[in-house]
Each structure stands twice: as C-alpha cells, then as structure tokens.
Structure 1
Amino acid sequence: MLRIDQNKERPGEDTAVAIGTFDGMHRGHQQILWRLKQAASRQGLATAVYTFSGIPGAVLGKKTGALFTKSEKQAAFAAQGIDYLWMQKFTRELADMPAEAFVDFLLSALRARVIVVGYNNTFGKDARGTPRFLQEYAGARGAKVYIEKPVEWEGEPVSSTRIRELLLHGEPARAAQLLGEPYAFHARVEHGKRLGRTIGFPTVNFYVPEGKLCPKRGVYISSVEYRGRKYAGITNIGMRPTVDDGDTVNIESHMIGFAGDIYGEEVCVRLFQYLRGEVKFQNVEGLRHQLSEDREGALSFFQKGKSMR
C-alpha cells in the first residue's frame, strides 16, 4: 500500500476508489472493499480509498469517539492490500465543499474510473452528494459507480454508530459480530503505580488514545497481544476506585501467565466479554478476592475454545 494525501504525489495510474469514513472496518465496510477490489481487477485498475483521519461527527458537533485511531485505520487498509490511501483531515471547509467539486477532485486527483460507495453515504455542502447524485454526476463524466446495499445483522444494517452503542452498553461480544473481530486498543504501555503487582495481579497500563471511543467502564475478559503472542487477561476500564481517587479513565490489563516489565512496549488489548462494573471495595483483600474470581472466569472462557483474536 502506498499512502498518499494532499501533500504527497498523486496516483500515476487510473484507479477504482471507495469513499467513506470507514470507522472500525465493520462487515459493511468489508463488503465495499470486496466490491472495490473486484471492480478494479476486472478493469485492470489500482485500488484507492478516500477517507478521513477522524470522524466527521467530531467536527459537526456530535460528541462521539472513533472506533479507529488514525494508525489503526491505516493498518486496516494495509491489511486489505489497498494500493492508495488518501486520508484527509475532516474540517468545516471540507464539509462545505460543493458536491460537484468533490467528485471532480476524485476524477482528476485520484484518477477515479470506478467509484464504490455505501448506500447511505453523503458528502458535500448540505449533504447534497448522495449515492444517486454520484451515480448521475460521475457517470456523465465516464466513471462507473457501484452503490453497495447494507449488510444486515439481526434485521438491521451494520453501522459504526450501532457498534459504538453496543460498546457503550457493555456488549463487546455483539459488537465483535458486527466488526468481524473484537474491539481493540493498540497502545504503548505506561508506568502505573505498580499496586497490582503488590497484590499478585501485575498489570499493563495505558490511557484511552485521544479521540478513541471508551467503552462502558468496568471489568472485561480480554486478551493481550505482546510481540506476537496472545495472553488471556482481565481488563479494567475506569478510575480504580479502591486504590485511587483520581478522575482520569485508565486501562489496566492483567496478562495471565506473564511476568515481566514491558514499559514503553506496544500491546494490543482485545475485549471479549463484560464481567462487572467497577466496585469500590472496603479493603485491598476484598479486591484481591474479586480479581481471583475474575481471573478464573477469563481462564474458563478461553478454555471453552474461544479464540483470543
């Protein structure tokens, strides 16, 4: 994959382009990219994606976190084998861009000969750029437009909004069915207070990356991937009420069967099942007892054949 943006060299070949926010790379997005690659292969075109480094809602006044960080989104497109990625920062000026000007940009700057879009995608000032508009305007200028139908789950379209709602309600297993994989955090381990180590439950600690959705606070069955190896784990998302009076949301993951300091290292934490909310115990011994039960629950979960991926 060759990443490009408004400051880089533009494609030197004709392309098939998919456009959209692509937050989370859920099953609906995967269908769009399947169509993109199929159409590109048929016509001998390179594949390209036009997307955003954040989510439009953050600029348009909607308070919501993204399922993907910028680096996670880049990695997802790399895994899909996309040839060109145009990742634009979403701004108010971009939102006010005439729909015609945006399509002209795709046709000229990205040399789009095929455009693939989801059924509910809109773009341009006042959201005038509907799939039908795209089909008519780009089609009149020689481009083939594919409009992908929704992928449904439990009778409703799969969407990033729906996935966010599931995560905010503590339903990571259902969210994973829409995503096609567990919701994950990729982060660098930071120094904690080392309190977990003193009670027999050492943890890796990090904060929710800026702009990324923080799921419902509480304790989860999780896996922690470190240097290609996956460990069963329990993860607390919250403020550690028993041992800390702070108000910063922290993520702590206990890696079952792992011992060692990995400060500054990269880990991937995947959430599988919500166990319980945060509880302020009367003493550390009460916390230790509950963590032992949580650990047994995680081991039992994975011993039943659940994948850590």
Structure 2
Amino acid sequence: MIEKDAKRAIALGYFDGVHCGHQALMRLAVQRAQENGAVSSVFTFDVHPDTVITGQPVPLITSEARRRDEIRELGGVDEVIFGHFNDEMRNMDWRRFVDDVLVGQFHACWIITGENNRFGYRGQGTPERLREECVRLGIGCDIVESVKIDNIVVSSTYIRQQIAAGNLERAAQFLGHPYTIAGAVQHGRRVGRTLGFRTVNLALPKEMQAPPFGVYVSRVIAGGQSHIAVTNIGVHPTFGEGDAACVEPHILDFDGDLYGAFVQVQLLHFLRPERRFDDSEQLKAAISDDVAQTRAWFETARK
C-alpha cells in the first residue's frame, strides 16, 4: 500500500501503447525514485487529451481496460495515476498543474517528461518551462530526448499508422513489444467448431486502432501460457453474420476451455485480407492454408 503523502518521481505523459520512448521515460522515473527513496509513478489521463480538445476520438493502441497493467508491466513503475481530463483540466494553467497537482497533491520530488510533451492550457507548459519551475520549487527534472529508429521519431501517431496499414512487424519494432488485443473470452456462434477449427472469441474494443480485417499469425497468452495461433479479425462475410467486428484466434494444438478467461492476443504478421468464400469447404481449405503458413512463420522465426 503506497502512502498518500509519499514523495514520488513522476513520469508525465499519455503513454498510449507504452512504446520504446515511453519506456525510456519510465526507466528513468524508476531510477530517480531509487536514488531519492521515492515511489516511481506515472501520471497520465483517463481520456486522450486530443479527444476532448478536438471532439474526435483518438484511436488507441492500448485498450482502456488494459492501460494500467500494460504501463506497470512494461514500465516497471510502482503506480499509475489517472487524472480526469475534462474541460477544467483542459483550461488549467500549466504552472497550476505542476504546483497544485503534481507537487501539491502527489508530492512529486522529481518530474520526467519527453522533449515534445506539452501540457496545460493551450499546451503552454513546455519542457523548458517545466524545468524552470522545478528549479524554482527545488525539485528534480529530466527532459528526455525522443527515441529514434531508422531516423524516425518513435511516436504513438506513427505506430497507429503502421497498425492501420497492417505493418505489424514495423509497429512492434517501434513499440518494443507486439501489438496486443486483450479481453475476456466470450461465447461465439460456434462456426469454427463446425469447420473443425475451434476459436476463442473476443470483442474488438471500440476505442482501439483496428488493424485491417484479415488473418494474422499470432500468439495467445492465457493463464501464463503462450500458444501459437492464427487469428481472424473481421465480420464473418462468408456467413453474413452482421457487421460487429470480433477477434477470433484458433489456437494450434490446444483443446482447453478458455470461456471467461482474460487473454492477450499478440498480432505478429499479416497473412491475408478477410474475404467471402462461396461455401464452407473453400473456407476450410483457406484456414488450413493459414494454419500451415503460421507454423512455417514460427519455424522461420526460430532459426
């Protein structure tokens, strides 16, 4: 249990996807916390600020239900603090945010942020102003340079573009981990069972940046175990089952019951677009080929 008035080393940002750049900030927060006998923390928001500012939802890399766990697991911090981003927060003066919220409410002894982060009313809180304010308050401050890969700045925006285009390997390179869809396994229509390819079924979180509908080489993490899978994302065009998108991994060489379990589906490689087949036999043949390609992909990856 973390004491309410414990001093904190706080990494500041939204951290969608917890990519390589985010992880660099959080590693430094952990280091500063250890050096200062403090709690390593992340301060983020429950809603993406651009969603409130523009009125248009920002498609997310990490689902709302998964964000806290992903930040803690990948960032290694002790706690994740969610601020409520509403009109009051949107219009808050940047200095008041630092003085009253980060320091006054959460007892920040050190603040870490990226060189491109902006906060406070109209983004007037710049890294340079933050550094000056921290000096005035007598607390530590680190402004972390952007991480680059192939001379491209690692950013959530760029990663969303790669996911939307189906470039899962590129997205994973910039994330530092596979793009993952997580959730509780639901009951489906049992179509896969009739075809001889049982699937586990998850809803595609509406707030997430969806990859192209299609079939993917994937890995399913369930109960601490990792399983090879071939995953379809889409709307069942062959059976005309409507337009509600779902995520359906067929786990290879697995015969267990995962209904109700929380699973993670890591999408690793795009195999083919979703398409409508003339009959179930054509669909079965296509799935068999998907399975063969998935096995071959993993065999190649092991070499």
Do Structure 1 and Structure 2 share a fold, with TM-score over 0.5?
Answer: yes
1:83 aligned partner: 78
Give the counterpart of 2:60 among 56, 63, 66: 66
| 2:72–2:80 CA contact under 8 A, matched in 1 | no
Residue 140 of structure 1: SS of its match in structure 2? helix
2:21 aligned partner: 28
Residue 204 of structure 1: SS of its match in structure 2? coil
- Return 5+ residue gaps in structure 2 as ranges: none
| 2:29–2:77 CA contact under 8 A, matched in 1 | no
| 2:30–2:76 CA contact under 8 A, matched in 1 | no
Give the counterpart of 1:248 among 235, 244, 250: 244
2:216 aligned partner: 220
2:178 aligned partner: 182
Give the counterpart of 1:208 among 193, 204, 208: 204
Q: State the 1:44 CA deviation.
A: 2.5
Shifted more, 60-69 versus 108-117: the winner is 60-69
Residue 176 of structure 1: SS of its match in structure 2? helix
Mark the CA change 1:306 to 1:124 in structure 2 (over 3 Å): closer, same or farther. Answer: farther
Matched to 2:15, the amino acid is F
The count of aligned residue pairs is 300
Q: State the 1:62 CA deviation.
A: 3.4
1:120 aligned partner: 116
Give the counterpart of 2:272 among 267, 276, 279: 276
2:93 aligned partner: 98
1:7 aligned partner: none
Q: State the 1:306 CA deviation.
A: 4.5
Deviations 1:99-141 (A, max 9, x none): 1110112111111121100111111111101111111122211
Within 2, Cα distance between the matches of 1:182 and 1:14? 34
| 2:149–2:174 CA contact under 8 A, matched in 1 | yes
Alignment TM-score, normalising by the size of structure 1: 0.92
Matched to 2:265, the amino acid is V
Deviations 1:28-67 (A, max 9, x none): 0111011112222222222121111232222222332211
Deviations 1:77-116 (A, max 9, x none): 3324423321123222211111111011211111112110
* Pairing of 1:134-145 with structure 2 (within 5 A): 134-145=130-141
| 1:220–1:272 CA contact under 8 A, matched in 2 | yes
1:57 aligned partner: 50
Within 1, Cα distance between the matches of 2:258 and 2:272? 27
CA RMSD of aligned residues (A): 1.7
Matched to 2:129, the amino acid is F
- Return 5+ residue gaps in structure 1 as ranges: 3-9
Within 1, Cα distance between the matches of 2:142 and 2:281? 60
Matched to 1:139, the amino acid is V
Residue 137 of structure 2: SS of its match in structure 1? coil
Runs ≥4 in structure 1, deviation > 3 angstroms? Answer: none
Residue 185 of structure 1: SS of its match in structure 2? strand
Within 1, Cα distance between the matches of 2:218 and 2:119? 37
Residue 147 of structure 1: SS of its match in structure 2? strand
| 2:219–2:228 CA contact under 8 A, matched in 1 | yes
